[in-house]
Amino acid sequence: MSFNILSLDGGGIRGIVAAKMLSIIEKQIDKPLNEYFQLITGTSTGSILAAAIASGRSSQEIVDLYKQQSSIIFPYRKRFSLKRLPLLFKHGISAPKYSDKGLIQVLQGVFGDTTLFDITSPLLLIISFDTIERSPIFFKSWRQDKGYGNVPLWEVCVCSASAPTYFPAHKLNRRIGGTAQDGYSDAIILDDGAASVDNIYNNMQISIIDGTGISQTRTIKKYIGSTRTCTIYPAWEKVPDKTSIYSIKSQYSAIDGGVAANNPSSCAVAEALRLGYSIQDIRVLSIGTGERTRIIPFEQAQHWGLIQWAQPLIGILFDGSSEIYEYITKQIAHQRILRLQFKLDRELTGKRLSDDIDDVSPENISNLLEAAQVYMQQPNIQTSLHKFLSN
């Protein structure tokens, strides 16, 4: 039996392209997408699409969401807008372009009190990145043992969509747990699941929640990552040992998952394999948000410094990530993947398609929707889609 995966790229407002494609596909299969796919994954704007579909919303509802509420998320275009003054007062000249208030407002309105673990079918995988441990965060609706806990679905999406330079990082509480490897009067050695970065747990609280030394809570004064040793204060009343289960109250500093995997398809394939599905049964529908065509000539790039690279670099990193993960997925899944993606040029409709993630002008939104419609009507795309959906 096939294990169908839907993978959705990041891309800001260009997520409306993927939503439009999905609305056409949803009509063709004549059933809700959350009943057709067994695992849905998304990054950044793709996380919003993925969470909305997994929670039972139709693709057309998501198209309408982008059309009606994107201006709340991106309320102005220019960095020197008067509306941005509160951000400059709060963060200084290097402030992100937007506050996350609009993003949070829209996502809370969409998902309400729904939490990650409320999504039981299909499986939901959302990608973010933690700047503290410099590692990806894989939010999995089926893993209730993870340190992020039962996060509100809106907050999972904020973590995944907080693009650097556009939005501030998002703070999310987490619990780090494990079994002690040893203990001393003023120290405890954590297990291999703990971070290898020095001082990362300094000043955090560690509690013994089971085993020897249960109910003790101490402050971590120093952490040595190479040996995973916490020096604590005050000293233990009862020294923990290898039976002791610990919990550290920590936090994520979450930014856009596109830093790790703007195209999360290979992450989803890896999870399907870990869940025991055969590679022969895995099929992937991977949908992009439009391929950038804006070039950076060598004559410009060779002279650029920090200021000039700041904004374009995000798009370049995301593009590179998408291409690499598409390559990996194709090497693993071979003919069992269908990638839907078109270039953001005038070829499809003769109209300008902005590659900016925050161009929410009515003209650009209309042009993106029209281009997606034309792209999906192409005979070669319809043939490929029919073949994928028929297998």
Q: How far apart are CA 255 and CA 168, in angstroms?
A: 8
**CA 50/CA 375 separation, integer angstroms:** 21
**CB atoms closer than 10 angstroms to residue 335:** 10
Q: What's the helix, strand, coil split of the chain in %, to 5?
A: 40, 20, 35
Q: Is 265 a catalytic residue?
A: no
- 379 preceded by a cis bond (ω within 30 of 0): no
Catalytic residue selected from 113, 192, 226, 278: 192
192 is catalytic: yes
Q: Which of 7, 9, 23, 44 is catalytic?
A: 44
Instruction: Round to whole Å and give the CA distance between 331 and 210.
Output: 45
Q: How far apart are CA 48 and CA 9, in angstroms?
A: 10
Q: Which two tokens stand for residue 113?
A: 């009190």
Structure tokens given for 340: 């839907």
Nearest CA to 163 among 132, 139, 127, 135? 127
Strand extents, DSSP E, the chain: 3-8, 39-43, 123-130, 135-140, 170-179, 182-184, 187-189, 205-210, 217-224, 229-233, 245-256, 282-287, 337-340
Strand bridging mode 182-184 / 170-179: unpaired
Residue 49 near residue 33, CB atoms below 8 Å: no
Catalytic residues: 44, 192
